[in-house]
Structure 1
Amino acid sequence: MSSNKEDGGWKKFVWNSEKGEFCGRTGGSWFKILGFYLIFYSFLAGLFVGTIQCLLLTLSDYKPTWQDRVAPPGLSHTPRSDKSELAFNLNDLETYLPYTKAMRDFLSMYDEDKQRDQMKYEDCGDEPTEYKYRGDLNSDVGVRKACRFQRSLLGPCSGIEDREFGFKEGKPCLIVKLNRIVNFVPRPPSSNDSIPEAAQYKVRPNVIPIFCTNRREEDAGKIGEVKYYGIGEGFPLQYYPYYSKVLHPQYLQPLVAIQFVNVTMNTELRIECKVFGENIGYSEKDKFQGRFELKLQVTNL
């Protein structure tokens, strides 16, 4: 009997036909409760959306808000492998074909016929000059022109005359660039205090110098002569600042070609290349911040 009473009581609680109640409340009561929560959560959602909208209104479409937190630019090179190794046999085309193909593909965007549009590109000189400002990021100037960079500036590493970029002769080239950072203006070193003595000859006005040397002491004297090609043999200031993909869609980074002309054959060499500047630092956590390391082995057996 008690079980039947309990079942009947439960059913009556769920739906009481006499009072028109569902779960102990009338339809009007449930309507008020649902209406309250609907209004309450709609208000919260509106408050959240409004807050996000106000935040977005304070942000620039082009300029990073926390520019002071941006790390110095990375230094990258082509060709590049996952383990930063460059090993080939100058007598075997197949061993260096992937490297030369990567360089040709990368430099194709620097072909002269792609830089002829006078509305998009301008000549900025073949010598390092001061920064070329093109207005504030938030101004109504719109899309900015970009400095031309001719492949011929890279000399024998341009791929124009030597399609093998020196690999066939055992004198391999690297194409090096500083990674893009919106509105970043690299500052050349103001003194030689922070630059190794062997690299101090590279310092000159209006250019960020780059220098490559042996990473290990046992490789000293084995790397041989290193030649640098490009404007001022470094990264000239007139190519900065960069105005973003939206405002600077055709921007071309200045390049430096590095050629190892008489490395010791059949030996693995550890090489480190660095750029030097007042606001360019290095990090042990990021091996490409302002520098990179390379394992180079040229075989002629």
Structure 2
Amino acid sequence: MENKSKDQFYSPPPERSIGEQIMQFLWNSETNQFLGRTFGSWAKIILFYIIFYLVLAAFWGGMWIIFNSIAIKTDKPRFTLQESLIGSNPGLGYRPMPSEEYIDSALIWFKQSDNGFVNWTNKLQTFLEPYEKIRRDPNESKNYVNCSYDYLPPPNKVCRVPLEQMAPCDKQFYRYDSGGLCIFLKLNKIFDWIPQYYNDVKSFPSNMPKELQEKIKDEGSKNPKNLNTVWVSCEGENPSDKEHIGPIYYFPRPGFPGYYFPFSNVKGYLSPLVAVWFKNPIHGVLINVECKAWAKNIIYDRHDRKGSVHFELMID
């Protein structure tokens, strides 16, 4: 009898048809299971997933709130001036620049005899194309106004950069075909940066070139508002460079007018330009050039290239 009980304990379950198996899976009256689980088991697993998804929803909801509070806006950076990575000291740039494969070089070199300057003038044409497009196409110029020291841009308008006033640096070859060359200077854009001008002739720094000081005094005598300018100057870095660099001219003036500032990301804004004409540099000699931007809140440091830009000229 005992052996028979053991045989019954290990005996396989009775065979059921597929329909009976499905019915037993839906509801097992012997174990009170519905779909393979008891009601208590179903209650626990449903409660677990309710709590899990509530926590997950709360987590992503919190992340969404944090993201919206710190998200980068397209019209204005979250951190500006001293709070930003680029700081509040604008850099000075120049064009044309060497190709990307010579990224460590600042040399503008060409042979004038075989039109070796074409590569450089093509670079300038590409750089100036957005400025030229405004002058050519009336539809492109709708957001631009002709500004002056007495007429500032209205809201949501930007000042046009007058390339036609940069002659002789607006010719086809930008004077590269005449024994000299033109370089275009620009200030890097810093959101909300407002220059502090040298509008008091007694406040000129001691290292400001005397020629520029006289130019500023002359501009101020014509109209005191003309002093609201970020001035620029270029000269040879060393005594031998100053000897070889030759006469330098600036167009339309040696500085960036104050009505272009501050940069606030208004649609169509283009950085103001200063065309620098090196009329007759000595050929066959490497000339080191340094250009500086002058404003009270532009820090100058030659070692770190703050407030200035360095490049080299060589014409064969």
With the shorter chain as reference, the TM-score category is 0.7 to 0.9
Kindly state the Cα deviation for residue 298 of structure 1 after the two structures are TM-superposed.
1.0
- SS of the aligned residue for 1:176 comes to strand
Counterpart in the other structure of 2:79: 66
Kindly state the Cα deviation for residue 262 of structure 1 after the two structures are TM-superposed.
2.0
Q: Are 1:89 and 2:111 matched, yes or no?
A: yes
Kindly state the Cα deviation for residue 172 of structure 1 after the two structures are TM-superposed.
0.7
Given candidates 147, 152, 155, the residue that maps to 1:124 is 147
Given candidates 241, 244, 253, the residue that maps to 1:219 is 241
Kindly state the Cα deviation for residue 42 of structure 1 after the two structures are TM-superposed.
2.0
| Separation in 1, partners of 2:44, 2:205 | 80
Given candidates 274, 279, 299, the residue that maps to 1:281 is 299
Structure 1 residues 281 and 42: CA distance shift in structure 2, 3 A: same
Cα RMSD, aligned residues only? 3.0
Show CA shifts across 1:162-181 (max 9, x none): x1111112211111111223
| Separation in 2, partners of 1:35, 1:150 | 66
Given candidates 152, 157, 174, the residue that maps to 2:164 is 152
User: Is there any run of 5+ residues in structure 2 with no aligned partner, and where?
Assistant: 1-29, 220-226
Given candidates 263, 268, 279, the residue that maps to 1:261 is 279
Counterpart in the other structure of 1:240: 261
Kindly state the Cα deviation for residue 101 of structure 1 after the two structures are TM-superposed.
1.0
Kindly state the Cα deviation for residue 281 of structure 1 after the two structures are TM-superposed.
2.1
Alignment of 1:18-57 (within 5 A): 26-55=41-70
- SS of the aligned residue for 2:167 comes to helix
Counterpart in the other structure of 1:141: none
| Separation in 1, partners of 2:150, 2:292 | 22
Contact 1:171 1:260 in 2 (8 A): yes
Give the aligned length. 259
Show CA shifts across 1:33-79 (max 9, x none): 333222222222212222333455xx876344432323322221211
| Separation in 2, partners of 1:33, 1:276 | 68
| Separation in 2, partners of 1:116, 1:77 | 29
Given candidates 81, 85, 95, the residue that maps to 1:78 is 95
Q: Residue type matched to 1:297 in 2?
A: M
Q: Are 1:298 and 2:311 matched, yes or no?
A: no
Structure index of larger Rg: 2
Q: Residue type matched to 1:80 in 2?
A: M
Identity %: 23
Show CA shifts across 1:135-172 (max 9, x none): 5xxxxxxxx2222232221111112xxx1111112211
Structure 1 residues 240 and 54: CA distance shift in structure 2, 3 A: closer
Contact 2:191 2:263 in 1 (8 A): yes
User: Is there any run of 5+ residues in structure 1 with no aligned partner, and where?
Assistant: 1-16, 136-143
Counterpart in the other structure of 2:131: 110
- SS of the aligned residue for 2:124 comes to helix
Given candidates 208, 215, 220, the residue that maps to 1:196 is 208
Structure 1 residues 71 and 54: CA distance shift in structure 2, 3 A: closer
Kindly state the Cα deviation for residue 277 of structure 1 after the two structures are TM-superposed.
0.3
Structure 1 residues 54 and 254: CA distance shift in structure 2, 3 A: closer
Show CA shifts across 1:113-146 (max 9, x none): 2357774222224xxx2683645xxxxxxxx222
| Separation in 2, partners of 1:68, 1:96 | 39
Show CA shifts across 1:75-123 (max 9, x none): 2121111311100111021x21111111122223333223577742222
